Chain A
Amino acid sequence: MAFHFLSKGLVLEQHKEPALSRDLRELIVPGSARPLPLPKAEDPAALSPEEIIAFADAAGIIDERDSLPLGEKLRAARRDGGTAMVVADAIDDEPYVSSQLGPLFKLSSQAVGGLLFAAKAAGAQEIMIGVYKNVYDLRLRIPNTLYGVKIKRITGKYPAEARSSFPEGGEGVLLVGVCALIHLYRAIHNHTAQTTSFLTVAGNCVANPANLEATNGLSVWQALERCGLLEEPARVVIGGPMTGMSILDPAHTPISATTRAVLAFLDNPRERHYSCIGCGKCASVCPQELSPLFLYKSSKQKLVGMLRFYDVERCIGCGTCSYVCPAKLELSAEILSAKRLVEGLDKAQPQTQPQEGTQEDQNDTQSV
C-alpha cells in the first residue's frame, strides 16, 4: 500500500454511491426459478468436494470475472493437487461498478457460505476476500473480517484487478467472483439453478442507481427502467466505463452473467479529434510500461514490425491511455485492434522467439 503512489495508473473518482449503500433491488421474472436435476442436499455441511462440483455443474454457474463455468474452475483446481487458497473476488476497480461489492455486503452470509463450499471443493486450507477501496471511497467502511473470513483491502490505482496479487497464498491461489459464490450457496441450500445475475445500474441518466438482481435474458432496457431513467440516454454501456462496450439497441440486448453493469449517460462530449502533439501522458500512465502513442502511429500505418518492436502483445486493454489523452484520440481501441491483427498473423505463421529475423520480413511484406 505504501508504494501505490509510485505505481503507474490512474486514480479514478469512483461514483459508487448511492448504488452501493442501497438495498439490492430485484427484477426477477416470476416462475423463472429452475430446480436442479440432482437430489436435494439433506446435509450441506457433509457434502463431498465432488458433490459440490456436481451441484455447480448442474446449476450452470458462470464466474463473472472471466466467464468460465465455476464447475470447470473448481475441477481444474482440484485436479492440479488442490490449491492453497481460494479468494472471493470483490475487486471492483472501475467507477460506477459495484456489482460484486454490493452483494458481498448485503448477502454476506450467502457469500461466505459459498466461499466455504468452494474452498472445500478446491481442497484449499485458507480463504480470503479481496475488496478494492480507493481514496475517493470515503463513505465505504470495510470491516476486517466478515463472518470470520479475513478481508484484504486492495488499494492502488486503476487497473487494480489485473495487478492484484495475493502472496499469502503462495503458489496456488484461485480467484472466484463473489456473485458466483452466492449462486453456489443458493444451488446447494435452495436447490435452484443460476437464473439471475447481479449488476449495477448507474450513470447520470439513471434516476435511482442501484445494484440489481435481474433474470438472465431480460433486456438492458428493462433493467434501466427498473431503476428509472431521467431522459432518453445518449449512450448505454454494458460493463465498466473504462473497458465496457457501448450497445446500439438496449431493448434487444440481453443481460447475462458477465454483464456486471449497465450504465446510461445523458450526453456525449463533442467528438473533437485533435492530432497527437506528443505530450507523452499516455506513456507516463500505462501500467504495462508501453508507449501508446508509438503503437497508435504504427497501427495507423499498419507497420507490423514496429508494432512488435513496441510490444503490442503486452497491452491489457485497460483504457488509461485514452482516458488521459488530451487530443482525445482513440488510443485503446486502435491498439487493441493492432494487437488482434498481430495475434492473427502469429497464428497464421508462428513466430519463433526471440529470433525475429526472417519471419518478420515475411510478415511485413504480407501486411503492407
Chain B
Amino acid sequence: MILKAYNPPHIRKRDSNRSMMDDVLIVLIALYLMAFYYYGPRALLLGLHAAGVSIVCDLVCKLLLRQKLSLRDHSSLVTALLLPLLLPASVDYAVVAVAVAFALVVVKYPFGGVGHNLFNPAAGGFAFVAICFPKAVFSYPVPLEALNAFGSFTGRLVTSASYTLKAGGVPTGGDFLSMLLGNTPGPMGATNVLVVCACLLYLVVRGSVHWQMPLCFLGTCALWAGLFPRAPIPGGASVIYELFSGCLIMGAVFMLTDPVTSPKRASACVVYAVFAGVITMLFRRFGGFEESFAFSLLLCNALAPIFDYLDELFYRAVRRGRFVPAKNKKA
C-alpha cells in the first residue's frame, strides 16, 4: 500500500489559531454580559450588529482577494466584538457599522488579511469614528439607567472621567469601588476594571498573550501618572484615576497584545510596552481627544518592526557571544 508522506514532527500541540481566537471571544462575551448588566439589551444588540457587519465585510473582502470563503478563522469576529466595547452604549448602530467596516475593509484586508495587517484593526476603526463623530463617541450614558434597545439613543448623556482629567479637574464620578466595578460612565466594556483584569489572567494562563506586555505597559503608565499628575491630586490617587479612566487597561489587554501587530519575542515586547506606555501618556497630556489610546497604539504598531530588528541584533550577539553588525539587510 502506498501512504502519503508527511513532514516531521508527527505529533503536534493541540491548540490552533482558532482556539487562541476562541479564548479571546469567550473573554469578550464575559465583558458583554457585564455591559448587559449595566446598560441593558442595547449592549448585546450592538455586539450582534457588529458581528453581522463583520461577517458581510469578511465575505466581500475574501471574494475580492480570491481567498477561500470560510469563517473558520475567528479573527474578524474578535475585532468586531471588541469595537462596541470601546464605544459608549448610547452610540448609533450606524456608527458601529462604519467602525467595523473601516476596520476590516481599510485596515485589515488591503494589507493581506489575517496575519499581514500592519495596524490593529480595532484601533483603526475606533480612530476613524472618533474623528468622524467625536460627540457621539465621547459622551456616555449613565449606567443602570434604562436605555432603548433599538434606534437612536434618547436619554441623558454625560462626560466621563477622562474628560475631566484632560481639562485638569478632579473626577467626581464615583469612589474607588464604583470605578473598579464599572458603575461610572465610560466606554461600554472598559469601565469594569475587575472583570478586565480577570480576563487578562485567563488569557495569560491559556497562553494567548505575552504576559510581559500589559504588565510593563500599565507599570509605565502608573509610574508616569504618579510622577506627573494631570490634576491637583496626590500621586496615588492620580495613578488610580489615570489607570481606571478611559480604555487604558482594556486596550492593554486586548489591543496592545494583538499578536500580529506587536513584536514577536518576549524581550522585544517588554521594550515595546514601555515605549507604548510613554507615548500613550504623552498623547493623553498633549493630544486633542480625551481618550487617545487608539491613536498612540497605531503609532506604536507602525514602529513595532524596529523593536523586532533590534531584538534580533541582540539575540545574534547572544548566540555568538559578541556583537556582529548586520550588513545588506533586505527587508
Contacts and interface: CB of A to CB of B under 8 A. Distances in A.
B1 A246 contact: no
B60 interface: no
A96 to B, nearest CB: 9
Contact of B259 (A95, A269, A277): A277
Majority secondary structure of chain A interface residues (helix, strand, loop or mixed):
loop
Contacts of B115: 274-278, 327
Interface in A314-368: 314, 319, 322-328, 330, 332-333, 354, 356-357, 360-361, 364
- The secondary-structure label for the interface of chain B is loop
Contact of B7 (A95, A333, A364): A333
Interface in B299-319: 308, 312, 315-316, 318-319
B327 A293 contact: no
Contacts of A314: 319
A328 B13 CA distance: 9
A288 B1 CA distance: 39
B11 A323 contact: yes
A272 interface: yes
A166 interface: no
B16 interface: yes
A38 B111 CA distance: 72
B16 A279 contact: no
Given A234-B3, A274-B17, A311 B319 contact: yes
Contacts of B324: 354
B116 A275 contact: yes
Interface stretch (A26-34, A43-51, A301-309): A301-309
A248 B10 contact: no
A318 B330 CA distance: 28
B288 interface: no
B8 A247 contact: no
A242 B9 CA distance: 4
Given A275-B115, A322-B9, A283 B17 contact: no
A305 B312 contact: no
Given A274-B16, A360-B327, A248 B259 contact: no
Interface size range on A against B? 35 or more
B113 interface: yes
A305 to B, nearest CB: 5
Nearest to B322: A354
B11 A332 contact: no
A278 B15 CA distance: 15
A245 B4 CA distance: 11
The CB with the most chain B CB atoms within 10 A, among A12, A263, A275, is that of A275
Given A274-B17, A278-B260, A248 B5 contact: yes
B319 A288 contact: yes
A251 interface: yes
Given A326-B19, A357-B327, A293 B264 contact: yes
Nearest to B112: A275
A19 to B, nearest CB: 16
A134 interface: no
A149 B8 CA distance: 36
B11 A242 contact: yes
A241 B5 CA distance: 14
The residue in A12, A233, A247, A274 that gathers the most chain B C-beta atoms within 10 A of its C-beta is A274
Contacts of B263: 280
User: Which residue among A246, A278, A361 has the maximum number of chain B CB atoms within 10 Å of its CB?
Assistant: A278
A331 to B, nearest CB: 10
Contacts of A233: 3
In this complex, the member of A242, A319, A326, A333 whose beta carbon has the largest number of chain B beta carbons within 10 angstroms is A326
A279 B6 contact: no
B3 A243 contact: no
A349 to B, nearest CB: 15
A268 B6 contact: yes
Interface of B: 1-13, 15-20, 72-73, 75, 113-116, 207, 210, 259-266, 269, 308, 312, 315-316, 318-319, 324, 326-331
Given A250-B3, A274-B18, 13 more contacts: A265-B10, A274-B114, A280-B210, A280-B265, A283-B264, A288-B319, A289-B318, A306-B331, A311-B316, A322-B9, A324-B13, A327-B17, A333-B7
